[in-house]
Chains A and B, each alone.
Chain A
Amino acid sequence: MLPVSDFKKRQNREKKHTGGVKVKLMVMISVAATLLFFTQLVFANGLATDGQKIAKVEEEIQNLESENTILRVEIAKKSSLVSLSKKAAEDGFKKPSLVITP
Chain B
Amino acid sequence: MQIIFFIVAAVIIFRLFYWQFLAKNSFGSDAFLIESEIPASRGEILASDGFPLVTNQESFLIYAKPHELKKNPQEIAQSLAPFLISEKFTTDSARLSDSDKEQMKDEIKNKEKELQGKLADKNLFWVQLARKITLETKKKVEEKKIPGIGFVQDERRFYPEASMAAQLLGFVAFDKVGRDTGYFGLEGFWDRKLRGKPGRLGQEQDPLGLPILVGQYRPIPAKQGSSLYLSIERGIQFMVEDKLRKAVEKYGAKDGTVIVADPKSGKILSMATIPTYDPVLRSEFDESLYKNPAVADTFEPGSIFKPIVMAAALDTKSVEPNTKCNICSGPRQVAGFEISTWNKKYHPDSTMTEVIQNSDNVGMTFVAEKLGVKNFLSYIEKFGFGRQTGIDLQEESTGFLRPDEEWKQIDLFTASFGQGIAVTPIQLIQAISVIANHGLLISPKVVEKVEDEKSEEEIKPKQEIQVVSPETALQVTEMMVNAVEKGEARFFAPKGYRIAGKTGTAQIPIAGHYDPAKTIASFIGFAPADDPKFVMLVRFSQPSSSPFGSETAAPTFFEIAKELFIHFGIPPEK
Contact = CB atoms under 8 A, between A and B. Distances in A.
A76 B213 contact: no
A73 B161 contact: no
Interface stretch (A11-19, A29-37, A64-72): A64-72
B211 A51 contact: yes
B569 A102 contact: yes
A47 B213 contact: yes
B221 interface: no
B280 to A, nearest CB: 13
A72 B58 CA distance: 11
B55 A76 contact: yes
Interface string B37-63: 000000000000001100111100000
Contact of A51 (B155, B210, B235): B210
B178 interface: no
Interface in B140-173: 153, 155, 158, 160-162, 164
Contacts of A66: 58, 153
Contacts of B211: 51, 54-55
Contacts of A80: 51, 160-162
B502 interface: no
Interface residues of B, number: 29
Contact of A101 (B58, B153, B209, B566): B566
B213 A50 contact: yes
A11 to B, nearest CB: 42
Contacts of A44: 214
B213 A72 contact: no
Instruction: Label chain A's interface by main secondary structure.
Output: helix
Contact size range, A: 20 to 34
Given A73-B57, A76-B55, A82 B213 contact: no
B57 A81 contact: no
Contacts of B220: none
A85 interface: yes
Interface of B: 51-52, 55-58, 135, 153, 155, 158, 160-162, 164, 206, 209-214, 234-235, 238, 565-566, 569-571
Interface of A: 44, 47-48, 50-52, 54-55, 62, 66, 69-70, 72-73, 76-77, 79-82, 85, 99, 101-102
9 contacts: A47-B213, A50-B213, A54-B210, A73-B57, A79-B51, A79-B160, A80-B161, A81-B164, A101-B565
